[in-house]
Each structure stands twice: as C-alpha cells, then as structure tokens.
Amino acid sequence: MIIFLSFLLIYQFINLQIFQRQYYTTLSKKNQIDFSPIPPRRGLIFDRNGVLLADNIPAFSLMMTPNKKDEMQKTIAELSKIIKITPDDIENFNKQAKQHRRFEQIPLKLKLTEQDVASFSTNRYRFPDVSVQAALLRTYPLSNAMSSVLGYVGRINEYELQYVDTTNYAATNFIGKLGIEKYYEKELHGTVGYRQVETDASGQTVRILKNIPSVSGKNLYLTIDSRLQLAAQKALGQNHGAVIAIQPSTGQVLALVSNPSYDPNLFVNGISQKDFNRLQHDPAHPLYNRTLRGLYPPGSTIKPFIATEALNANITNTEFTLFDPGWYKLPNSSHVFHDWKPGGHGWVNISKAIIESCDTYFYDLAHKMGIDRIDDILGQFGFDKPTGIDMGEELAGNIPSPEWKMKNRGLPWYPADTILSGIGQTFMQVTPMQLATATATLANHGVRFRPQLLFATQADDEQIIYTHPITETPVVLKQDIYWETIINAMQNVITEGTGYSFGHPSYSVAAKTGTAQVVNSRENDNAADNIPIQLRNNSVFIAFAPIQNPKIAISVVIENSHDAIRISREIMDSYLLNPEQDIAHATTRPAQ
C-alpha cells in the first residue's frame, strides 16, 4: 500500500510539473498580473458665456470588495466603529453588490472627511478587503436654478447596466439620470483606461507594467444664459410654473426654468429615503419638469396663430368687422358662448380681436374655419408633436380632432368643440416649450428652428466646436403683410390691450395674454377669496422683442395666478436692459 501510494504521489508530481506546467504557469502569472481600470474624467458643463454649471470635485471614498454575506456584515460593523456609516450607505452598497462581480470594489461611503481618512489609515491592517480611493464627484454650483436643464447623475442601477457598455463603465459608478446629463451621457462620460500591474501574494501592487490612459469626456457649452436663468427663477419667486426663453434667429434656448425645482446635488451621492420621500410627496411636484412635460390649455395665446391661417385662407381680412354683444350663438342653436367681457367689445376687426382678446370674434372665426383648418395651422407651428429639443423627456401636448375625441373619449365631435378650440380651451393642451418655439416662429415671419441646448463641445486641449441651427419646415403665408398685421396687433396688446400692465419699456415688444381655466366657472377670476388657490385660473403670456430684430422670445405659464405678465417684464428687462449684470457665487471660465 505504501509503495502504491508513493508511486501515485510521484505520478502526480510529474503530472503537475511536466504535463500541466504551462497551465499552472499561466494561472500563476494571472495571480501576479492584474488589470486595473482607470475611470475617465466626466466632462464639465458650462453656459454660453463660460459660467461653470456642472463640475467635478475631488473626494475620498471608502471602497469595499464584496465577500460572503456574514463576513461583509461583520466588516461593516467594525468599520462603523471608526467611521460613521449610515443605513442609507449600507442599503446603497448592498444594491451595488448585487450588480457587480464579487472581486470588484464598490463604494461603501462617499466623500470621506479628513478625520475619516485618518481613522481608517490607522486601522488599515484590520480590513484587507477595504481601501480608500480618491475620485471625482459631480457637483452643481448653481443648485436648484439649473436642475430643470442639467438633471443630475446618480449611481448606476441594475436596469442601466443592461444597456451600457460594461467594459467602458468598469471603473464608473455614476451615470446621467435626467436632463443634459442623460441626453449627452456618451459625450460626457469619456473612455475608460487600464493599468497593468504586478501584485504580490496579498494583492498589493508591486509595480506598474503598462498604462493605457483614460480619455476624458467632452466639455459641453450650453445655449443657456445662466444670468437670465437666475433672473427667471427670481422673477418666479414662490409661483408654480414654467419659463422658456429662446433666441428666435437660431432656436437656441436662453433660459428653461421649472418652478419649484430641487437640488440636484442631493442625488449625486445617493439621495436618502427621507429626502426622496419629501420631494416625491411634495404637493408642488418639484421633480416634475413643467417646461417640457407640463400640459396646459393655451387659452387666448393661441389666437394669433389661428388668425394667421384665417388671413391666409381669406376667411377674414382686416376690413371685416363683427359686432360683439358679449356672447355668441351658433346658427340654429340656443346655446350661448360667453365672451370674457360681459358687455362685449362692440364692433371688432381681427386686429382689435387680438388686442382686446375678443372671444366672440374667435368663436365666429373658428366656426368658419372648421377644426381641420385649425388643426392644420397649429400643426405647422409645431403644436402637434414634441419640439425635438436635445434633452428628451418631452411630451407632445394635444391638438384635438374628431378622430382623437372618438378614440380617447368615445364621443363624437360637436360644433361647440370647434368653437372652444378657437380660444384655446376644451381638450387643447400645449407645453411651455411648444408655445415658446411657436412664438419664435411668429417673430421670424414663419422661419422655424428646432430648439437647441447644446452650444458647443470641446475635447481636452482641442478647439471648441460650435453647433449649427437646425431648421424645420417653415410656415409659409401668401403675403408677408399677414405677418405684419398679426405682429402689429400683438404690439398693441401691450400699448392698449390686455397686456397693458406690462408697462412701457424702452424696447418694442409684441405679446399675447392668455387665461386658462382650471375649472369651468365664469366667476373664477382669481380674485375671489372663496376660491381655493389650486382651483384658480392659470395665466399664460407669450412675447418677443425687439420687434424689428427679435433677440428673445418667451413663454410664461403661471399656475393659479395672474403674475405671468409681471414675471415676463422682469425677465425681458433683465435680458435686454442689463446684459452685463454679474452672477453672484458662480465660477466663470472664459468661453473661446
């Protein structure tokens, strides 16, 4: 038996050292040589003037390699005695551990203090599977003011791992979740690098054999003017609503503000359940981007767009007048459609109808045009689909038609539906972004541009590459005088019409006011004390200035308040009269 076992042992020696020598030599080298991924630096984000909007700050993170569950819990418990580790830290770590391979290190706690680093360093020998690593974390200097544009980055979740390039994200724990951060994730992320290192038996690095550097993400310059963005947020104050400002000649978005908003910095490190519940259950819905997803009846702001088709199709002209007694009836119908002004506007032509926002005139105009013509012209101005802005998340709004009503409501289309569509009520809904782009088109006499947020890109040590305006199918009228008729009437909205409270600025401005009912009640004028705030009318305002060479077009939608005109005036004054005003507490870098 001893001789047999001895021969067996000798055979195994020969088998391992001769016949399987190459195999075990390779395994030995694999244990000795390791590939360590190098994370790329995420690209920075600036506004059009070089103001820094999204930065990377250096921070130390506590990294841990997942092991057996009992051992992990014991290690975390011991770490908690020297570093404060919260239940949220542990929960985030456990989520990440399920999404990564066992030998990959995962952040247990981000943004360690100097005291945390010192405490861990003195106890390093007790935790072989734990290390402190330096990393760059995202930060947003302008906080709430830019959340509706930038969105935020957050930890990669299991769903996102299914469609990202896991090789390129081998050293990345964060990914864009919303806004610009998500839409331009590919450009911002960069390319992972690798370091080939020689390790000892304990896994510690002995020397670096080969280094493939990572490629940083591109820096982005946005079309946003952060000075105007802050001015819009300040003008909104406590009001709930949205502001869009566009440069008509290019389609570049100058300001995009949804109010109330949230602090995107909360999401970077993994938002606590308490903070998330507070935001999610806030009745003001701060996480809801009203600029792109808010659906509102446009009210009377839709009238100038309908009027262009009425003139172009010769359904009306500047000489035709209609007497408005304060109400309107369809032929052979007893139903009364009331004007917002009980006594009526008297004799009204198309210009006066826009200036004084005469509902009766547009009731009659809608009846003569029919819903197909109304839908067609509104579609030409882009109200029937998303604008295509480079941020995603956008809703299309709704321009109702007989087909839509039958499909969604199971009811036929009635003449009353057409009448109410003429004043932007009934089933009609638009987004503030659609209103702003249509207003810019009106300012351009029908020339349309797709709204853009990307102004330029810049790779490391390379020149800035600027984007070009993207044109859309224009709105073409038979005569340019029709544009002049509409725009002149909109100018008089400010000087002698419903927009008189805008005042008399030093620049020329064309505008249109609108009121969108939240509930169907003629008595709901936002002034009655017995009407709850959430049931009061929304105010809508569109404008562009100066008239001859438009530099800005805006749409403002304010929920349950009449403040849209005041807010619009403050925003336009800020942009046109105070262009050199500084931004407090903002880091600036000169744009090239």
Tell me which of 62-71, 237-246, 418-427, 447-456 is least confident: 62-71
Residue 1 within a domain = no
Counting the structural domains of the chain, the total is 1
User: Residue 337 falls within a domain, yes or no?
Assistant: yes
pLDDT in tens, 147-165: 999 999 988 887 888 888 8
List residues bridging with 195 in a β-sheet.
36, 211
The dihedral built from the CA positions of residue 404, 408, 412 and 418, taken in this order, carries a sign that is negative
Q: Is 80 a catalytic residue?
A: no
Name the β-bridge partners of 59: 135
Domain assignment of residue 531, given as a range: 32-58+136-272+293-592
pLDDT score, position 294 = 94
Amino acid at 552: I
d(CA 53, CA 47): 7
CATH of the domain at 159: 3.40.710.10
Distance between CA atoms of 350 and 305, rounded to whole angstroms? 12
Domain membership flag for residue 112? no
The long-range contacts involving 395-400, CB below 8 angstroms and separated by at least 24 positions, are 395/292, 395/293, 395/295, 395/431, 397/295, 397/429, 397/430, 397/431, 397/434, 398/295, 398/427, 398/428, 398/429, 398/430, 399/375, 399/428, 400/371, 400/375, 400/426, 400/427, 400/428
User: What predicted TM-score, i.e. pTM, was given to this entire model?
Assistant: 0.85
Using pLDDT thresholds of 50, 70 and 90, give the confidence band for residue 592.
very low
- Per-residue pLDDT, averaged over 542-549, amounts to 96
Domain-embedded: residue 473: yes
Taking alpha carbons only, the member of 377, 391, 376 closest to residue 450 is 391
In a domain, 146, yes or no: yes
Q: Provide the 8-state DSSP code for 209.
A: E
Q: Please state the rounded mean pLDDT for residues 481-497.
A: 96
pLDDT tens-digit series, residues 184-235? 999 999 999 988 777 665 556 667 777 888 899 999 999 999 999 999 999 9
Query: 123 CB contacts (<8 Å, ≥6 apart)?
Result: 82
Best CA proximity match to 591, nearest among 180, 219, 182: 219
> H helices of 67-199, where?
69-79, 87-99, 114-122, 147-150, 158-161, 179-183, 185-189
pLDDT attached to residue 201: 55
Structure tokens at 410: 């199971």
Q: What share of the chain is helix, strand, coil (3-state, %, to 5)?
A: 35, 20, 40
Catalytic residue among 61, 148, 214, 300: 300
Split at pLDDT 50, 70, 90, the class of 585 is: very low
Q: Give a yes or no: residue 351 inside a domain.
A: yes
- Residue 313 structure tokens: 């199709």
Residue 240, pLDDT above cutoff 60: yes
**Rg (Cα) of the chain, in Å, rounded?**
31
- In 3D space, the residue among 408, 388, 384 whose CA is nearest the CA of residue 396 turns out to be 384
Identify the DSSP state of 44. P
Q: Is 255 part of a structural domain of the chain?
A: yes
Q: Average of pLDDT values for 239-245?
A: 96
> From CA 234, how far away is CA 215, in angstroms rounded?
39
- In the structure, what pLDDT confidence band is assigned to residue 579 with cuts at 50, 70 and 90? low
3-state secondary structure of 197: strand
Q: What DSSP character marks residue 261?
A: -
pLDDT greater than 50 at residue 96: yes
Between CA 502 and CA 523 the distance in angstroms is: 24
List, for residues 333-386, the tens digit of each pLDDT value: 889 999 999 999 999 999 999 999 999 999 999 999 999 999 999 999 999 999
**Run of H or E including 512:** strand 510-516
| Residue 20 placed within a domain | no
d(CA 225, CA 45): 13
Decide: 375 and 384 in contact? Cβ < 8 Å: yes
